[in-house]
Chains A and B, each alone.
Chain A
Amino acid sequence: GENVEQHPSTLSVQEGDSAVIKCTYSDSASNYFPWYKQELGKGPQLIIDIRSNVGEKKDQRIAVTLNKTAKHFSLHITETQPEDSAVYFCAASKGTNAGKSTFGDGTTLTVKP
């Protein structure tokens, strides 16, 4: 089955700096890669996603890149703000009805004011 590894497990940056979180996946058939943000006491919420026919996607301060050959994808947050502090999860899945997504173990991001 699919295996998703996420690094780093914790990340601390100064406000205004950039943050990068990386994930690798094992199943070359995976074609959908979402990123979720989980704030304390809440369920995860989708912040951005990318499909395998696209190499990069950007939404304001957040961007995701995908390298299908190397089977890795990354989340980039620029101009970080204290409210970006949360746990971030990457995931990989394939096909509309092909079953569950596989999640990474999460990265705890702390943005210091």
Chain B
Amino acid sequence: GAGVSQSPSNKVTEKGKDVELRCDPISGHTALYWYRQSLGQGLEFLIYFQGNSAPDKSGLPSDRFSAERTGGSVSTLTIQRTQQEDSAVYLCASSLQGGTYEQYFGPGTRLTVT
């Protein structure tokens, strides 16, 4: 079946512009995660959605970052007024439920801020 998809696969933007990154989770998965991975680094947790509960936003690095999940499915990560340090691969993952369930990762969006 279809896995987690993300779009675009690559995004180049100028400093100061806003960007939107999209994640389509596996159908029926109630949990959705966003991570950031800088070159050669580990997974930096950004935000976690679980069903209809309030999202866990504890990993968002600044108020320029926000995310929504509409209808419990598709999610959009928005970065406002992008900075060069925002350049990274943004990974989305979904799981059947949160916590002790396997996370299925998408291929990521490579964001480059010039």
The interface of chain A, by Cβ under 8 A from chain B, is 31-32, 34, 36, 41-46, 49, 51, 89, 93-106
Q: In the complex, are the beta carbons of B105 and A98 less than 8 A apart?
A: no
B67 contacts chain A at the CB level, 8 A cutoff: no
B100 contacts chain A at the CB level, 8 A cutoff: yes
Partner pick for A96 among B53, B101, B102, CB 8 A cutoff: B101
The secondary-structure label for the interface of chain B is loop
Tell me the bound Cα distance from A45 to B91 in angstroms. 12
B20 contacts chain A at the CB level, 8 A cutoff: no
Q: In the complex, are the beta carbons of B43 and A89 less than 8 A apart?
A: yes
Min CB gap A3→B, angstroms? 13
Tell me the bound Cα distance from A101 to B42 in angstroms. 13
- Known contacts: A45-B105, A100-B33. The answer to whether A105 contacts B42 by CB under 8 A is yes
Q: A105 — which chain B residues lie within 8 A by C-beta?
A: 41-42
Q: In the complex, are the beta carbons of A43 and B102 less than 8 A apart?
A: no
Min CB gap B86→A, angstroms? 19
Partner pick for B45 among A41, A43, A49, A100, CB 8 A cutoff: A100
Scan B30-74; emit 1 where CB is below 8 A from any A CB, else 0.
000100000001110100101101001001000000000000000
